[in-house]
Structure 1
Amino acid sequence: MNFGPRAQGPMSIGELSDAFGLDASTLNRQTAAAMRAGLVERIPDPEGGMARKFRITDEGARMLDAEREGLVRSLERVMADWSDEDISGFAAYLRRFNTDIERLGGRPWPRP
């Protein structure tokens, strides 16, 4: 199973807000906690913009990879007896379900 790329690159609070649908105050608290834990770091905008960006650290990437691997192993155990057709059908319905949630929330995916 492939869950896609880990990150889109450094992101500002505004970009994180758009991606996760959270307000800036919530994101400021969460990014501060992630920085204290050594999971993300704040850097100047690589493209020269005014907003500072957040980038995942090596430790954060290791933790994210470990979490993702654990989820994949769990899904593989659950679906061990499923046919390829069943897995494909489930994936299609899950994709449709998530797309419709995003659309109804006024945040269609994929975002630009």
Structure 2
Amino acid sequence: MTGAAQGVQSRTTSRDEQAAAVLRTLELEAMLFGRQLEPALRHTSDHDRLDRSAYALLTRLQVQGPMSIGELSDAFSLDVSTVNRQAGAVLHAGLVERIPDPDGGMARKFRLTTEGRRRLDDERESNLRGLALVVGSWTTEDVDALATLMRRLNLEIEDRRGRRWPRP
């Protein structure tokens, strides 16, 4: 191998190693973010908190409207028994109700109750207060950059899975 070819190979290997190191850092930070976000947002106990699965399920129903167990299972890429258990918990808590399919289908659907909407709104407001505390010393531009990059990352993941989360 000539000196020039060795130099190109060395630069390529160095770039590959740098890219691998950046991905390792991203993977670690994503794991830590997922682990630390919920406790960081729970800065007060000003109301009964929703667990993560209830929050996601109620948010999906708020954005998309009534959904059946099968539709929720598809939306979350979870098996029907898992979604059935999660939906049963929020149904028992009075946060959703079962209704006939508004489009005339056979499957009954879940929709938010007034209490479910109120609890979801309370949870979201509490989360926003917690986030404001966490990024309180950041510039608006930095917060916007993080939000933009997180949206981009989520959209890439959703596209790879073939399922976009409906956004308002």
Q: TM-score of the superposition, structure 2-length normalised? A: 0.58
Q: Could you list the per-position Cα deviations for residues 38-67 of structure 1 after superposition, in whole angstroms to 9, with x for gaps in the alignment?
A: 111100001111111001111111111111
Larger radius of gyration: 2
Instruction: Please state how far the C-alpha of 1:7 moved relative to its aligned partner.
Output: 2.7
| Distance in 1 between residues matched to 2:80 and 2:165, nearest whole Å | 22
User: What stretches of structure 2 of length at least 5 have no aligned partner?
Assistant: 1-58
Structure with greater helix share of residues: 2
Aligned length: 107
Tell me how far 1:22 sits from its aligned partner: 1.1
Q: 1:44, 1:110 → 2: CA distance?
A: 24
For 1:86-101, what aligned pairs fall within 5 Å after superposition?
Answer: 86-101=142-157
Q: Normalization by structure 1: what TM-score?
A: 0.84
Instruction: Give the superposed CA RMSD.
Output: 2.0
Higher RCO, 1 or 2 (CA under 8 Å, sep at least 6)?
Answer: 2
Which blocks of at least 5 consecutive residues in structure 1 are unaligned? none
Deviation >3 Å, runs of 4+: none
Percent of aligned pairs with the same amino acid: 56
Corresponding residue number in structure 1 for 2:111: 55
